[in-house]
A and B are shown apart, each in its own frame.
Chain A
Amino acid sequence: EVQLVESGGGLVQPGRSMKLSCAASGFTFSNYGMAWVRQAPTKGLEWVATISYDGSSTYYRDSVKGRFTISRDNAKSTLYLQMNSLRSEDTATYYCTRVEDYYDGTYYYWYFDFWGPGTMVTVSS
């Protein structure tokens, strides 16, 4: 059974840093891309960052580029999100997700097939 369990959330002051972790089990972690998706309170879903299966490629939404760093340790089956210079608008539940791809013969598409329960990050003074 695929399991993703986030940790590291909590209350942090604006401008400070926080590091989230996601422990993965039930699948071969090193075979899959992984991503973080966030959801502000009572709001919709927002993709944050993706990392390739081997960590060689990373992608970020513009609003976190230069502040957040996604990384992974395949030996520990763990995904990370280092968040620096946090802002109030970063307040959200952060979900760790497994990335799967689908090829229709012409294009590749990516989607999130398993999600963790999430960890809440509150940025406030």
Chain B
Amino acid sequence: DIQMTQSPASLSASLGETVTIQCRASEDIYSGLAWYQQKPGKSPQLLIYGASSLQDGVPSRFSGSGSGTQYSLKISSMQTEDEGVYFCQQGLKYPYTFGAGTKLELK
């Protein structure tokens, strides 16, 4: 199975601050990386697919980049509503696997 490792496990950011979350795959997944946001008590929502394509309706302050085994999610200006847990997911091979999550809080 492809292992997905996220870092950091948690972080706090101030309003307007730029936030970056990393995700590393145990093997090359080409561009098969998606990012999700989960708020407390809610289901996950898709943010990014294909490593860098923004899902419809997602604010443009979210962006994704990377290739091979290294990927990142960037929030260009932290907002209150961005608090939550962020997960990466590889969609290249079964079983599809997720990172353990990064908890983002407002400082």
Contacts and interface: CB of A to CB of B under 8 A. Distances in A.
Bin chain B's interface residue count.
20 to 34
Nearest to A116: B43
B87 A45 contact: yes
A102 B53 contact: yes
Contacts of B87: 44-45
Given A116-B43, A117-B43, A110 B96 contact: yes
Nearest to A109: B32
A89 interface: no
B99 to A, nearest CB: 7
Nearest to B96: A47
Contacts of B33: 109
A27 to B, nearest CB: 13
Nearest to A93: B43
A61 interface: yes
Interface residues of A, number: 24
A32 interface: no
B44 A45 contact: yes
Contacts of B95: 47, 61-62
B45 A109 contact: no
B91 A111 contact: yes
B91 A113 contact: no
Given A47-B95, A62-B95, A113 B46 contact: yes
A113 B49 contact: yes
A68 interface: no
Interface of A: 44-47, 50, 59, 61-62, 95, 100, 102, 104, 106-107, 109-118
| 4 closest residue pairs by CB, A with B | A109-B32, A111-B34, A115-B43, A109-B91
Given A59-B94, A110-B32, A116-B43, 15 more contacts: A44-B98, A45-B89, A45-B101, A46-B98, A95-B44, A100-B49, A102-B32, A106-B30, A109-B33, A109-B49, A109-B92, A111-B46, A111-B89, A114-B46, A115-B45
